[in-house]
Amino acid sequence: MATGEQRIGVVGGGIVGLATARELIRRRPGTEVVVFEKEPAVGLHQTGHNSGVVHAGIYYKPGSLKAQLCTRGRDLLRDYCAEKKVAYVECGKLVVAVDETEMDRFAALEKTAAENGVPGLRRVDGAEIREIEPNAAGIAALHSPRTAITDYPAVARALAADIETAGGQVRLSTEVTGIQQVPGGVALTTSAGAVQVDRVVLCGGLAADRLGVLSGGPRGPRIVPFRGEYMRVTPAKQELVRGMIYPVPDPRYPFLGVHFTRRVDGSLEVGPNAFLALSRRRYGRVSVTPADVADTFAWPGFWRFSAEHWRTGMTEIRGVLSVRSYMRSAQVYVPAIGVADVRRAGLGLRAQAVERDGSLVDDFVIHASDRVTSVRNAPSPAATSSLAIAEYVVDRIDGP
């Protein structure tokens, strides 16, 4: 630890920011750590609006930060949930191919998962699919028995409690609006007044790009928010799926496709889809924040991405407008669950970083400069990886 550092600020009270603050306290006894969260509670955005899945590492490019930190993070999270008595259920996942046209992508995914050392992974045929999930349809699947579900908001609350028990602070309803490096530290302007810290870590999630620029970092990549809507299966049909059933993903996109996922409360959800969000903070079906729309439309990368993928966008908007259209793709995997068996549930927002050239940033992106460390891109599996991301960030702060 550099001499003279007494106080470290962490901006963002989602699971990544809280995990980072906890790791700083664990690593640096006696250092004052302060979390600044603009909302009135922790974990209200991506942490509290995801599918609750603890990923096993099936999808991520071998050697990438996602692959490394997902593997490490899964084990850390399992142990942390056991310690804090937070629900953690290894209900397993099937990634299902429904016809021969998907088999090349399926084989590539199997190779990736094997290289990532996904525990217990095996290929199963159609008959074995139905042994694992009697109501599923498909010709082949990858079975990941260690893929789990948990309660991420409960994890976030436990992390916040750890921080405060260890002498740190979690300042709620405190928005950071200015970040300036000054001699000997970093001056933060907040909604509750000015604060000076020796170092700051930015874990802003949906505001990651804005905080990065505010601290003097590069303008790109820019966060383009995507909304994902969920359907909840009615109680009469929710036992038709035992664990999770996923499609074979399209490698051109970072989204995994509409899937069936159990929740730790016993309910069953379908989703999410992925469509452009017009607000970074609001969760109504029709939510528009003009400043967020302006930021998205002003970024050249958004228009380049849209020009290349507009046909997919048209398919997604049909699912937004029509439950029947939404369920048409999902029902391929579980024919017994149709449009009459679901009700609209919640929706989540995904912070997806997009480069100026329109390419989607696939890996975690963490920038470090002087006294500011900025987590610029931390989409799924960030929740799974959160404790490992925290280790990675603190390693860089403590390094030469």
Helical H segments across 282-352, by residue range: 290-297, 300-321, 323-330
Residue 195: beta bridge partners? 188
Confidence of residue 346 (pLDDT cuts 50, 70, 90): confident
CB < 8 Å & 24+ apart, contacts of 316-325: 316/273, 316/274, 316/275, 317/275, 319/229, 319/258, 319/273, 319/275, 320/229, 320/273, 320/275, 323/231
Averaged pLDDT, 250-262: 79
Q: Residues 309-336: pLDDT tens digits?
A: 756 666 666 666 688 888 988 999 999 9
CA separation for the pair 177, 213 (Å, rounded): 11
Cβ atoms of 248 and 95 closer than 8 Å: yes
d(CA 66, CA 152): 18
pTM, entire model: 0.94
Secondary structure class of 251 (helix, strand, coil): coil
Burial of residue 399 (number of CB atoms within 10 Å: 0-12, 13-18, 19+) = exposed
What pLDDT sits at residue 253?
67
Question: If you search the block for the tokens 């209900």, which residue do you land on?
Answer: 91
pLDDT at 213 over 70: yes
Amino acid at 362: D
**Which amino acid, one-letter code, is at 278?**
L
Of 186-200, 235-249, 283-297, 330-344, the poorest mean pLDDT is in 283-297
Has residue 239 got a pLDDT over 60?
Answer: yes
Percent of the chain with pLDDT over 90: 83
> How would you label 254-284 residue by residue, b for 16+ Cβ within 10 Å and e otherwise?
bbbbbbbbbbbeeebbbbbbbbbbbbbbebe
Mean pLDDT is lowest, of 137-151, 159-173, 356-370, for: 356-370
- How many Cβ atoms are within 10 Å of 23's Cβ, its own excluded? 23
> Is the predicted pLDDT of residue 273 greater than 90, yes or no?
no
CA–CA distance, 211 with 208 (Å, rounded to integer): 5
Torsion angles phi and psi, residue 30, rounded to 5: 95, -15
Assign 42 a pLDDT band (cuts: 50, 70, 90).
very high
Residue 259 reports pLDDT greater than 50? yes
The mean pLDDT value for 14-43 works out to 97
Complete DSSP assignment for 8-66: EEEE--SHHHHHHHHHHHHHSTT-EEEEE-SSSSSS-SGGGSS--EE--SSSSPTTSHH
pLDDT in tens, 125-145: 999 999 999 999 999 999 999
What is the share, in percent, of the chain residues with pLDDT greater than 70?
Answer: 94
**Residue 2 pLDDT grade (very low, low, confident, very high; cuts 50, 70, 90):** very low
Neighbours of 84 (CB within 10 A): 15
Mean pLDDT value across residues 255-276: 90
CATH 3.50.50.60 maps onto the chain at 7-47+153-221+363-398
Q: What is the dihedral of CA 301, 280, 215, 379, to 10 degrees?
A: -70
CATH number of the 222-360 domain: 3.30.9
pLDDT given for residue 285 in this prediction: 76
Q: What is the mean pLDDT of residues 53-82?
A: 97
pLDDT top residue among 320 and 20 = 20
The 3-class secondary structure across 116-137, one letter per residue, is: CCCCCCEEEEHHHHHHHCCCCC
The pLDDT assigned to 309 comes to 76
Every domain range in the chain assigned CATH 3.30.9: 222-360
Average pLDDT, the chain: 93
CATH number of 7-47+153-221+363-398: 3.50.50.60
The answer, yes or no, to whether residue 400 has pLDDT greater than 60, is no
Q: 71 falls in which pLDDT band (50, 70, 90)?
A: very high
